[in-house]
Chains A and B, each alone.
Chain A
Amino acid sequence: MKRNVLVIADLRGNQLRNVTFETLGAAHAIADGGTVAAAVIGHEISALAQTLGEYGAQQVYVVDHPELAQYIPDAYVAAVSQVMQAFAANVVLFAHSAMGRDVAPLLAAKHKAGQISDIIHVELAGDDVLFTRPIYAGKAFMKVKAAGDLVFATVRPNNLPMPEHVDATATVTSITYEVPEKVRTRVREVVKKASTGVDLSEAKIIVSGGRGVKSAEGFKPLTELAEVLGAAVGASRGACDAGYCDYSMQIGQTGKVVTPDLYIACGISGAIQHLAGMSNSKVIVAINKDPEAPIFKVADYGIVGDLFEIVPALTQEVRKVLA
């Protein structure tokens, strides 16, 4: 059954995030021969339209306005709604990101539609689209289908395959942003905090520390390894509760759920709630002094030893090999 699918591009610093390309791939599977459109919303972002075409968008809608430079709920609801008036979508896809997590439920509620959050797989079954999503932070998975001729979904980064880059050109339409009557929430300031500048939710590699790092300074060797690997730095609840790091770094069932290609757990014992947040990573390395630590049960590679000896040695080895 042909469907019209709209992908709302997700940006970081006016660059397209990889999850947007992954979402375009899913959009084609869902469209089943229908039209795949993308919308890019922001300020001074029209140059991105071409790239969206090269990753599978047949039509691209550009909504460019100074008020959209920053995610603001009322402004983005208005912008997406204006795109939806130009393109009659059956399925609207967002990244499961700070923006997508916020604006998708607003739109779903507005349209009295269903929404499926944090999807990691899509497939067709007869006239239905089946979406797979983690529940209990990845301790289990649920396949769902949605009723109605409009459904919203958010896509988890780094799970769906990247589509091929092709030599294609999308039809680009510029949408004139109409400033909504009410803009009730404003963002006064953005404070950059990510310690290595790599965002946890989309990181390909994560170096993560637990109670075993012993102090805030104990994160230093982990940060150095992360810098060499181009990785993000995460933490267990134990490390956050002990005050070694910021809660925004916490990985687990409370905290962020991550699925990088490589997860390096340093001094993390592996409580069930932490394992839920990371055990679906593709490759897991555990470094821990305690050979009985539960983290070794989910690890592909384990090193029993002192992280303050192993991690710097690993950093040096990676530096040597990648040089």
Chain B
Amino acid sequence: MNIIVCIKQTFDTEAKISLENGAVKEDGVQFILNPYDEYAVEEALKIKEEQGGEVTVVTVGPARVEEAIRTALAMGADEAIHIEDEAAYGDEYTIAEVLAAAIRQKSYDLILAGNQAVDDGSGQVAVRLAQLLDIAHISTITKLEIHGTQVVAERDAEGDTEIAEASLPVLVTAQQGLNEPRYPSLIGIRKASKKPLTKLTLADLGLSADAVGRKVTPVEVFLPAAKGAGRILEGDTAMRVQELVRELRQTSKVL
């Protein structure tokens, strides 16, 4: 089984966001492998352990994203493709087109990705990729079973669970609850630095910057309005819940 996992490096979820020159400031921020992509890597490794095969991670981004690649390799992925090219850092349209071009050069049975990244949170890239590669997909999965070429997945759909079926090749996107990602072992970390990492540019993929130029352009980034301090209600339990319900009905009008 040849498995490809699309990954992204993101800010740590505990990171505070501040702005500088109208953009989100990156200095001093801890970067991590996007948590949803961690589930995708873990699931790929579990399938490899059961059925054999190769796991290749693919990502797009500047030099710093190599750290996320090394994390995935240390967890147990076999090799990596890193598309490092300014012209590739566009919007979801751009990234999907670039990933599709890279993945078309590989043979694959299964593609995994996080269902969204914790930074942009748009949840588009992997689904776009399925369309561009013209393969079946099942998104936001919490369980995956593969028997031969038959794929059965449980999908988180607005709190309900859908049981969906498709045949390989298929792309699935990982939702929380899919698995418990492993921590890289010391041996894994040591091995990671020796695993093959291929760096590619748009030219290597036969793409021009114009062809994959962004469709959506940021105009402004801003922080939410700071909230004033709230009220701590005083008194015994009965007084406090009465006060709360009265406030919610009369002042906030949400009840």
* Interface residues in chain A, defined as those with a beta carbon under 8 Å from any beta carbon in chain B: 12, 70-71, 73-74, 97-98, 101-102, 104-106, 108-110, 112-118, 130, 133-148, 151, 184-194, 199-201, 204-205, 229, 232, 240, 246-250, 252-255, 257, 261-262, 271-273, 276, 279-280, 282-286, 291, 296-305, 309-310, 313-314, 316-318, 321-322
Our pick among B142, B231, B241 for the contact of A310 (Cβ within 8 Å) is B241
Which of A97, A255, A261, A280 is within 8 Å of B176, CB to CB?
Answer: A255
Residue ID in chain A nearest B227 by CB atoms:
A298
From A98, A192, A318, name the one whose CB has the most chain B CB atoms within 10 angstroms.
A98
Determine which of B157, B224, B240 lies in contact with A138 in the assembled complex, contact meaning CB atoms within 8 Å: B224
Q: Which residues of chain A have C-beta atoms less than 8 A from B216's C-beta?
A: 114-116, 144-147, 151
A144 near B233: Cβ-Cβ < 8 Å: no
**Contact in complex: A190, B162 (CB < 8 Å):** yes
A232–B16 Cα gap in the complex (Å)? 28
Q: List 21 A-B contacts (CB under 8 A).
A: A73-B137, A108-B124, A135-B221, A136-B17, A139-B16, A140-B222, A142-B218, A146-B216, A151-B216, A190-B161, A192-B160, A194-B160, A248-B142, A253-B13, A282-B252, A296-B232, A298-B230, A300-B252, A305-B237, A305-B240, A310-B240
- B interface residues, how many (CB within 8 angstroms): 83
- Please report the C-alpha to C-alpha distance between residue A76 and residue B155 in the assembled complex, in whole angstroms: 17
Mask, B15-38, CB within 8 Å of A = 1, is 111010000100000000001100
Q: Is the CB of B230 within 8 A of A300?
A: yes
Q: Is the CB of B221 within 8 A of A247?
A: no
Give min CB distance, A208 to chain B, whole Å.
14
Total A-B pairs in contact (CB under 8 Å)? 271
Q: A139-B16, A262-B252 are in contact. Are A302 and B230 (CB under 8 A)?
A: yes
CB closest residue in chain A, given B94 = A114
Contact code string B214-255 (vs A, CB < 8 Å = 1, else 0): 111111111110010111110001101110110111001011
